[in-house]
């Protein structure tokens, strides 16, 4: 029996994680002790303050991180090797925290729906009953959403940093459970929202079951949960290949479900449509960033030596995801479902980047590594999706948000600025030059091409063309079609939503015109530590 | 040794088939729990085989996570049931296409 060794906690390096976690716990205490009238202000300040604080600490940590082992990568293994704080982790943490701050601003928006937030006044009151009407006339608000947001952010920070399978599973659940609840808390169209929560929960729990069984099989194969030791076993062990392959496949199911890749995309449109729009905005951006961080670490660090087992599988999934996402998006009549399928297509593009495995040693001058391309794409995708969903929240009629696509006809005349910003986000998603989407696509295509995955790149270009048609159709609808009957109106948002949209749009423009600094930052992030 | 792993894979498959075929949300959820418990059995069996404690510790973590999942899951299913007077996953079909 091994001697028990007290784990060392690197408080300084882990401080972004710890700040978010303690703020979440404090948020629960606030719910219990602060009078209802003050909770909104206290919770908003606590949430945004904690996230900004975590971001500041992250910058300080990133400046201090020592180089690791052979000097190729920078980072430390924290908590007895269960967390890897390396360059890519810190980059993703920064991205997740920025997205979370913008998401928290959207959560706090109260101007759009006559002085109340987008969340149910009293989730326990049944839709259409007196209790619900009382709750809404009293102007009740669920301020529990802020601690839930922080717990989800904590899970998202933990997910790409986890360096063993058990931590990864726990992080997956910490990230998912608050999101299931948030999905079901919409103020308007509560039946849809509850149904979305049920579907998300059942399918999410199902897929995490697959992830866990995969983890069990890989543990059985290698005798350890640590990625470095799994990698060792993959290199040396020739027995039990079946167990390795089945375990790898099951782990992939769990992770690909979270990013919404094609055989596992069924939940995406339903959940994106049913969830309150601020939640959709935050979740679509944050979950994808965190889950791709985890996918990269799992496949590159633990199974990097066995690349030929998983690459063909990812080839097929990437092609299916891009093509089906783009084609199904064409058939949608609801703007939130359309954006959901477009995010499925983006998952495929990011997977294309994951396929281009290259060590930074093999690169000639000016080439970018696949890790760098994927990190950059995640940044562009997260900011433009969050911005686009924030705009969707502004277009409303008497029944709440007007998400039916035909109702958006003629919006360009009604509200030129909002329609213009939305059109800009759509062009970025289509990958038009001078937007961040173009640079992101160019980066992932070029790394996939360098790794010889040309069939995937051909499929990616084909589905990009389909997607351009899709987005241009929406723009034509907004600017050149006559409105049908009484069109929806664009509500003037408070400074909170305006900030989120402005940051999203500015980042999308800046990263398109001047991608250098962020690409440099992604390059400086270096490699995963092993 | 092998028998336990085989048993766990049988349990996992039963849970998996149950999720796909049963119509009541509570039963679907119970099948998910069965899958998690099948994982626990596999973890413990492999821990015994490798002679280290990682797998047993994993089983404890999984139990805690499963308990948290029950709290969230039953809350969501309860809300749906109170609204619709039915916990059938076929009835929840407003979101499609």
**Confidence at residue A79, expressed as pLDDT on a 0 to 100 scale:** 82
- Whether the pLDDT of residue A71 is over 80: the answer is no
By the CB < 8 Å criterion, does A231 face chain B?
no
User: Residue B12 burial by CB count (10 A; 0-12/13-18/19+): exposed, middle or buried?
Assistant: buried
Which residues in chain A touch residue B46, judged by CB atoms under 8 angstroms apart? Answer: 216, 219-220, 223
> How many residues in chain A?
530
Judged by average pLDDT, the poorest of A26-30, A393-397, B62-66 is A393-397
**Closest chain A residue to the Cα of B96, Cα to Cα:** A270
Q: Rg (Cα) of chain B, in Å, rounded? A: 16
The phi, psi pair for A187, rounded to 5°, reads: -80, -45
Per-residue pLDDT of A181-190, as tens digits, reads 999 999 888 8
Does residue A304 carry a pLDDT above 90?
Answer: no
A322: Cβ–Cβ under 8 A, 6 or more apart, which residues? A345, A348, A349, A352, A459, A460, A463
Q: What range defines the domain where residue A176 resides?
A: 15-525
- Residue A222: what are its φ and ψ, rounded to 5°? -105, -15
Each residue's pLDDT tens digit, A347-387: 999 999 998 866 656 666 567 788 889 999 999 999 999 99
Q: Would the pLDDT of A234 be above 70?
A: yes
Name the pLDDT band for A116 (thresholds 50, 70, 90).
confident
pLDDT value for A365: 59
* Mean pLDDT across B68-86: 91
Residue A123 predicted with pLDDT over 70: yes
User: What is the reported pLDDT for B96?
Assistant: 72
Which residues in chain B have their CB less than 8 angstroms from residue A332's CB? 97
Q: Are strands A395-397 and A83-86 parallel, antiparallel or unpaired?
A: unpaired
Q: What is the mean pLDDT of chain A?
A: 90
In a domain, A6, yes or no: no
DSSP state of A186: B
- Does residue A201 carry a pLDDT above 60? yes
Residue of B nearest to A272 (CA): B95
Among chain B residues, CA nearest to A184: B76
CA distance A331 to chain B (A): 9
- Please indicate, yes or no, if residue A7 is contained in any of the structural domains: no
Q: Give residue-wise pLDDT tens across range A462-486.
A: 999 999 999 999 999 999 888 877 7
Residues B32, A220: C-beta atoms closer than 8 Å: no
Residue of A353, A283, A268, A282 lying closest to A314 (CA atoms): A353
Tokens found for residue A451 = 């790794």
Question: Distance from A220 to chain B by nearest Cα, in Å?
Answer: 5
With tokens 């336990």, the residue in question is B4
Give contacts of A212 with chain B, Cβ < 8 Å.
35-36, 39, 62
Give residue A410's pLDDT band: very low, low, confident or very high (50, 70, 90): confident
| Rg (chain A; Cα; Å) | 22
Residue A267 has a pLDDT of 93
Task: Decide if A2 is inside a domain.
Answer: no
pLDDT beyond 90 at A271? yes
Would the pLDDT of A1 be above 60? no
Beta strands A489-490 and A395-397: pairing type?
A: antiparallel
Spatial CA neighbour of A474 closest among A417, A425, A435, A438 = A425
Handedness of CA A167, A170, A175, A176 (dihedral sign): positive
**Measured between beta carbons, which residues in chain B are less than 8 angstroms from residue A197?**
76, 79
Model confidence at A200: pLDDT above 90: yes
Distance of alpha carbon B44 from alpha carbon A436, whole angstroms: 48
> Chain A closest CA to B81's CA: distance in Å?
10
As a whole number, mean pLDDT of residues A389-418 equals: 88
Letter string b/e over residues A394-419, b meaning 16 or more CB atoms within 10 A of that residue's CB: bbbeeebbbbebebbbbbbebbeebb
Overall domain count for chain A: 1
Q: Among partner residues A194, A206, A217, which is closest to B83 by beta-carbon distance?
A: A194
Report residue A313 as tokens: 């599988």
In a domain, A3, yes or no: no
Does residue A78 fall inside a structural domain? Answer: yes
Span A139-154, average pLDDT: 92
Chain B interface test: which of A3, A131, A216 (most B C-beta within 10 Å): A216
CB proximity A124 to B under 8 Å:
yes
Q: Decide if A213 and B57 are in contact by the 8 Å CB cutoff.
A: no
* Contact: A220, B19; criterion CB under 8 Å: no
Residues B64-91: what's their mean pLDDT? 90
Contact B46 A219 (CB under 8 A): yes
Closest CA to B59 of B72, B74, B46, B73: B46
Inter-CA distances, B28 with A103, A209, A482, B25, B34, Å: 32, 13, 47, 5, 10
pLDDT over 60 at A214, yes or no: yes
Q: Do B82 and A192 touch (CB under 8 A)?
A: no
Pairing of strands A400-401, A395-397: antiparallel
Q: Say yes or no for a CB contact (<8 Å) between B79 and A123.
A: yes
* Predicted ipTM of the assembly: 0.96
CB A380 within 8 A of CB A428: yes
Q: What is the pLDDT of residue A258?
A: 93
Contacting residues for A6 by C-beta, under 8 A, at least 6 apart: none
Q: What residues have CB less than 8 Å from A484, skipping those under 6 apart? A: A406, A407, A409
pLDDT value at residue A180: 96
Is residue A203 in some structural domain? yes
Which residues fall within 8 angstroms of residue A66, CB to CB, at 6 or more apart?
A74, A76
Q: Is residue A312 part of a domain?
A: yes
- How would residue A412 be classed by pLDDT, with cut points 50, 70 and 90? confident
pLDDT at position A256, please? 95
Q: Is A166 on the interface with B (CB under 8 A)?
A: yes
The secondary structure element, H or E, covering residue A397 is strand A395-397
What's the whole-number mean pLDDT along residues B1-26? 93
Give counts: helices (H), strands (E), chain A: 20, 6
Mutate to test the interface with A, among B78, B87, B95 (most CBs of A within 10 A): B95
CA A361-A365-A366 angle, to 5 degrees, is: 115
A34 burial (CB, 10 Å; 0-12 / 13-18 / 19+) is middle
How far apart, in Å, are the Cα atoms of A350 and each of A33, A146, A207, A356, A437? 44, 30, 21, 10, 12
The share of chain A scoring above pLDDT 70, in percent, equals 97
Instruction: Flag whether A5 is in a domain.
Output: no
Quote the pLDDT of residue A529.
Answer: 81
| Partners of A400 in beta bridges | A397
Q: Are A201 and B76 in contact (CB < 8 Å)? A: yes
């Amino acid at each position: 029996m091994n001697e028990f060794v007290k784990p060392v906690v690197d408080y300084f390096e882990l401080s972004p994680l710890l700040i978010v976690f303690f703020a979440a716990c404090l948020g629960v205490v606030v719910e219990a002790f602060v009078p209802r009238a003050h909770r909104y202000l206290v919770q908003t300040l606590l949430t945004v303050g904690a996230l900004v604080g975590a971001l500041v600490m992250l910058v300080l940590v990133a400046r201090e991180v020592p180089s690791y082992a052979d000097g190729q990568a920078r980072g430390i293994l924290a908590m007895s090797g269960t967390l890897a704080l390396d360059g890519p982790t810190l980059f993703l943490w920064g991205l997740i925290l920025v997205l979370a701050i913008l998401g928290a601003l959207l959560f706090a928006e109260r101007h759009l729906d006559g002085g109340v937030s987008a969340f149910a006044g009293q989730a326990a009151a049944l839709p259409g009953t007196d209790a619900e009407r009382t709750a809404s006339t009293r102007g009740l608000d669920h301020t529990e959403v802020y601690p839930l947001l922080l717990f989800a952010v904590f899970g998202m920070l933990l997910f790409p940093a986890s360096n063993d399978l058990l931590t990864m599973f726990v992080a997956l659940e910490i990230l998912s459970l608050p999101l299931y609840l948030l999905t079901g808390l919409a103020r308007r169209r509560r039946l849809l929202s509850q149904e979305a929560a049920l579907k998300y929960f059942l399918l999410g729990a199902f897929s995490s079951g697959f992830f866990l069984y995969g983890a069990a099989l890989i543990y059985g194969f290698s005798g350890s949960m640590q990625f470095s030791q799994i990698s060792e076993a993959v290199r040396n062990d020739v027995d039990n290949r079946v167990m390795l392959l089945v375990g790898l496949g099951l782990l992939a199911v769990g992770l690909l479900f979270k990013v919404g890749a094609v055989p596992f995309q069924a939940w995406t449109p339903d959940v994106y449509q049913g969830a309150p729009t601020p939640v959709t905005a935050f979740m679509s951006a944050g979950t994808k960033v965190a889950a791709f961080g985890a996918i990269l670490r799992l496949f590159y660090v633990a199974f990097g030596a066995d690349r030929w087992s998983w690459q063909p599988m990812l080839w097929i999934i990437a092609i299916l995801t891009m093509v089906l996402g783009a084609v199904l998006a064409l058939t949608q009549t609801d703007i939130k479902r359309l954006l959901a399928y477009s995010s499925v297509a983006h998952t495929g593009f990011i997977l294309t980047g994951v396929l281009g495995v290259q060590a930074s040693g093999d690169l000639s001058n000016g080439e970018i590594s696949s890790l760098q391309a994927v990190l950059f794409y995640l940044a562009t995708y997260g900011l433009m999706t969050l911005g686009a969903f924030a705009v969707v929240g502004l277009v409303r009629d008497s029944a709440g948000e007007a998400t039916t696509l035909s109702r958006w006809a003629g919006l360009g005349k009604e509200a030129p600025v909002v329609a213009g910003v939305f059109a800009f986000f759509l062009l970025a998603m289509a990958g038009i030059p001078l937007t961040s989407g173009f640079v992101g696509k160019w980066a992932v295509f070029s790394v996939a091409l360098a790794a010889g995955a040309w069939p995937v790149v051909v499929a990616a270009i084909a589905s990009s063309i389909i997607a351009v048609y899709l987005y241009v159709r929406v723009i034509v609808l907004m600017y050149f079609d006559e409105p049908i009957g009484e069109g929806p109106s664009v509500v003037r948002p408070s400074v909170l939503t305006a900030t989120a949209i402005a940051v999203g749009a500015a980042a999308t423009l800046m990263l398109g015109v001047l991608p250098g600094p962020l690409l440099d930052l992604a390059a400086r992030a270096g490699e995963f530590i092993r | 040794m092998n028998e336990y792993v085989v048993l766990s894979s049988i349990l996992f498959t039963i849970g998996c088939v149950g999720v796909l075929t049963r119509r009541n949300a509570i039963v679907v959820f119970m099948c998910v729990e069965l899958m998690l418990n099948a994982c626990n059995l596999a973890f413990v069996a492999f821990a015994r085989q490798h002679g280290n404690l990682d797998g047993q510790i994993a089983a404890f973590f999984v139990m805690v996570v499963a308990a948290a999942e029950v709290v969230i899951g039953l809350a969501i299913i309860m809300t749906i049931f109170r609204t619709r007077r039915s916990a059938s996953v076929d009835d929840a079909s407003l979101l499609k296409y």
